[in-house]
Amino acid sequence: MGWLREWKRKRVLKHHAIDDMLWQRSRKYLPFLKGLSPAQERRLREMAVIFLAEKEFTPVRGLQLSDQDRVEIALQACLPILELGLSWYDGWVGVVVHPSDFKVSRRQTDHDGVVHEWQDELAGESWPGGPVVLSWEALDDSGSVPEGGANVVIHEFAHKIDMLTGEADGVPPLPSREARERWLKVFDAEFDRFCTQVEKGRDTFLDPYASEDEAEFFAVASEAFFESPNALRGEYPRLYELFKGFYRQDPAQRLKS
Residue 210 vs 255, nearer CB to Zn ion:
210
What's the Cα-to-Cα distance from 127 to each of 132, 149, 163, 167, 168, rounded to whole Å?
7, 23, 8, 10, 9
Answer whether 181's CB lies under 8 Å from 175's CB. no
Q: Of 24-53, which residues contact Zn ion (CB under 5 A)?
A: none
The DSSP secondary-structure symbol of 65 reads: -
Comparing every residue's Cβ against Zn ion, the nearest one is 219
Q: How far is the CB of 212 from Zn ion (least distance, A)?
A: 8
Could you tell me how far CA 62 lies from the centroid of its own chain?
Answer: 25
Residue 46 vs 156, nearer CB to Zn ion:
156
Q: How far is the CB of 12 from Zn ion (least distance, A)?
A: 30
Only segment of 84-92, 131-139, 218-226, 244-252 that touches Zn ion (CB under 5 A) = 218-226
Strands, E, within the chain: which ranges?
56-59, 94-98, 102-109, 115-122, 124-126, 132-135
Amino acid occupying residue 138: A
Q: How far is the CB of 142 from Zn ion (least distance, A)?
A: 13
Residue 74 vs 219, nearer CB to Zn ion:
219
Amino acid occupying residue 75: L
Residue 51 vs 218, nearer CB to Zn ion:
218
What's the Cα-to-Cα distance from 151 to each of 33, 100, 147, rounded to whole Å?
13, 15, 11
Residue 216 vs 227, nearer CB to Zn ion:
216
Long-range CB contact pairs, 227-231, < 8 A, 24+: 227/32, 227/142, 227/143, 227/147, 227/148, 227/149, 227/150, 227/151, 227/154, 228/147, 228/148, 228/149, 229/255, 230/147, 230/255, 230/256, 231/147, 231/149, 231/205
Query: Pick from 219, 221, 239, 242: which binds Zn ion (CB under 5 A)?
Result: 219
Residues near Zn ion (CB under 5 A), total: 2
Q: How far is the CB of 104 from Zn ion (least distance, A)?
A: 13
Phi, psi dihedral angles at 65 (to 5 degrees): -115, 130
Q: Of 178-217, which residues contact Zn ion (CB under 5 A)?
A: 216
Residue 26 vs 135, nearer CB to Zn ion:
135
Q: How far is the CB of 128 from Zn ion (least distance, A)?
A: 13
**CB within 8 Å of 85: residues ≥ 6 apart:** none
The DSSP secondary-structure symbol of 151 reads: -
Query: Binding to Zn ion by residue 154, rule CB under 5 A?
Result: no
Residue 75 vs 221, nearer CB to Zn ion:
221
Q: How far is the CB of 49 from Zn ion (least distance, A)?
A: 27
Q: Given the rule CB under 5 A, which residues bind Zn ion? A: 216, 219
